[in-house]
Structure 1
């Protein structure tokens, strides 16, 4: 069977038109041969979401955005997207815009919800949400930091201004003089340190002997401590307690009038007798001094002793 040229031309034209329609629909994100389910979501701002953007469920691509149009005169946007997977989710599942990195664009994720048993059907409108992207997070974190940096810059500028006002020519000269004096002091300390080093080097032998003597003294102290450790301190303590007890007994005897010393301290008669005996002894010694010939007489020619002189009672 032969086709005429007109028939062939018509068939080619029909095929070309079909390809054109199919290609145009494909470029717009529609697949005419696909039986995917269509869903809708309403947003106040799609934040860079565009047709042909991916639609994912748990990170797996299950469809794409087919169109984004104004819903009404209020500026709300109607986003239409397809889901080519048989994965079932409820009508309360969330259509969430996410992504928006430095390179990649926005995408739409379906967050399944299973509390509602009523499954979503093609043509349903799902609840919408927008997840903060990396740029929004960066702006959110950088805004407080920017405020703090601005405050620091203002404080630093005020500090530098005050510093410049303080560091007038006179103050700088004073600081220069201070640093010069400090350098001179450091040089003096350095000279003193050198002198001390020379003294130490010149007397190193004496220092060695001194440390040797200190070492020997330490050894002697150790020996002395060992000797003290061997002393019977407990016995000495017992002897000392015994001596103290004896002294205490003697003191008690004296206080109670026992013995001659006790009677002397407590009995007035003993004291008076002793006082009289002392007076008489003194008178006797005075009489011996005044009249020695009465007690000792040596005479070769028989001369009689002189006249008697009574002793003076000086103790009255």
Structure 2
């Protein structure tokens, strides 16, 4: 069957009109081929636009379909659609929030875990979450006063610093910086001197470090030898020796033995002192009268004459 040109033109025009209607509704944010559930909510003012997104936990699940003003209540009535797969309670909340600093807004579904499930055409309560821009606008007066106070403090600080820098007295900042510069130069010269000294005595310093290494090695060997010594046995022998010494000292204290009696018996000490004096006189007499003792075996006796004080001295 042959189709006439008129029918082809008519079909083409109708197709164009349908395509235009579809594109127009699509640009408005509507899709005539989808079957979405529509719900309603209200706000005190309008901060949305048609096709503003509807999200849940940050995920887009729908869009704003229609925004109308209710002349009786003075509120903005918003109709929005969501994917039919989404199920939420009728007690949930629709939150208006800012999506960015540039002022974009969207709706978020805050699900409730109680109550019956929402049905198409139900009214859902709403709330508004203050955004960054609105918070700044509300607090701008306070920020302005605080900023003014801060700027005044900064101006005072800069004025004081300027006066300190311009001060030419001995206590001024320039004098302080000059003295600090001189001190740094002195430290720099001292550093150069130390470097020259180290370079001049490099070999001596290396020799000293070598000796230190050798000393450390000898100390390590000595420590190892001390570890190998049976210190326990040595300490035990020393303890036995101290016990013996304590026993001897106790015996001396108790007048045991000759030394003990000599140390503690006054009579023995006096006898020894008397014998010592008589022995001293005998030796002195032998020194003064040697002939008397040469004739000791003879029958002639020579009477004893005590020495005078001059002879004793």
SS in 2 for 1:68: strand
Counterparts of 1:99-248 in structure 2, within 5 Å, are 115=115, 132=130, 135-137=133-135, 139-140=137-138, 146=144, 148-170=146-168, 174-248=172-246
Query: How many Å apart are 1:141 and its aligned residue?
Result: 7.1
**1:255-277 per-position Cα deviation (integer Å, ceiling 9, x unaligned):** 22222222223334433432332
Contact 2:70 2:76 in 1 (8 A): yes
Distance between the aligned counterparts of 2:89 and 2:246, measured in 1? 111
Q: 1:193 to 1:102 in 2, by over 3 A?
A: closer
Q: What count of residue pairs does the alignment treat as equivalent? A: 264
Segments of 5+ residues of structure 1 without an aligned counterpart are 1-38, 299-304
Which blocks of at least 5 consecutive residues in structure 2 are unaligned?
1-38, 56-60
Q: Which string of whole-angstrom CA distances, capped at 9 and with x for unpartnered residues, describes residues 195-221 of structure 1?
A: 222222122122222222222222222
Q: Does the CA contact (< 8 Å) of 2:94 and 2:110 recur in 1?
A: yes
Q: 1:310 pairs with 302, 305, 310, which one?
A: 305
1:46 aligns with 2:45: yes
* TM-score between both structures, scaled by the size of structure 2: 0.60
Q: Name the CA shift for 1:105/1:235 in 2 (closer, same or farther; >3 Å).
A: closer
Deviations 1:232-290 (A, max 9, x none): 32232233223222222222222222222222233344334323322321221122122
Mark the CA change 1:275 to 1:219 in structure 2 (over 3 Å): closer, same or farther.
same
| Contact 2:41–2:79 under 8 Å retained in 1 | no
Residue in structure 2 matching 1:293, options 268, 291, 294: 291
| Cα distance per residue 1:284-313 (max 9 Å; x no partner) | 112212221111159xxxxxx998561248
Q: TM-score, normalised by structure 1?
A: 0.59
Query: Structure 1 residues 165 and 293 mapped into 2: Cα distance closer, same or farther (>3 Å)?
Result: same
In our comparison, the structure showing a higher alpha carbon Rg is 1
- Relative distance call for 1:125 and 1:77 in structure 2 (3 A) is farther
Equivalent pair of 2:168/2:175 in contact (CA under 8 Å): no
Q: 1:69 touches 1:78 (CA, 8 Å); kept in 2?
A: yes
User: Matched residues in 2 for 1:246 and 1:95: separation?
Assistant: 101
Q: Aligned residue for 1:77?
A: 74
Contact 2:98–2:105, Cα closer than 8 Å, also in 1: yes
How far apart, in 2, do the equivalents of 1:172 and 1:222 lie? Answer: 60
Q: Distance in 1 between the 2:276 and 2:230 partners?
A: 50
1-side partners of 2:111 and 2:261: how far apart? Answer: 123
More off after superposition, 259-268 vs 97-106: 97-106
Q: Distance in 2 between matches of 1:138 and 1:193?
A: 57
Deviation sequence 1:164-207 (CA, Å, 0-9, x none): 44444335983223323322322222222222222221221222
> Comparing 110-119 with 184-193, which one deviates more in the overlay?
110-119
Deviation at 1:128, TM superposition (A): 6.8
Return closer, same or farther for 1:117/1:183 CA change in 2, 3 Å cut-off. closer
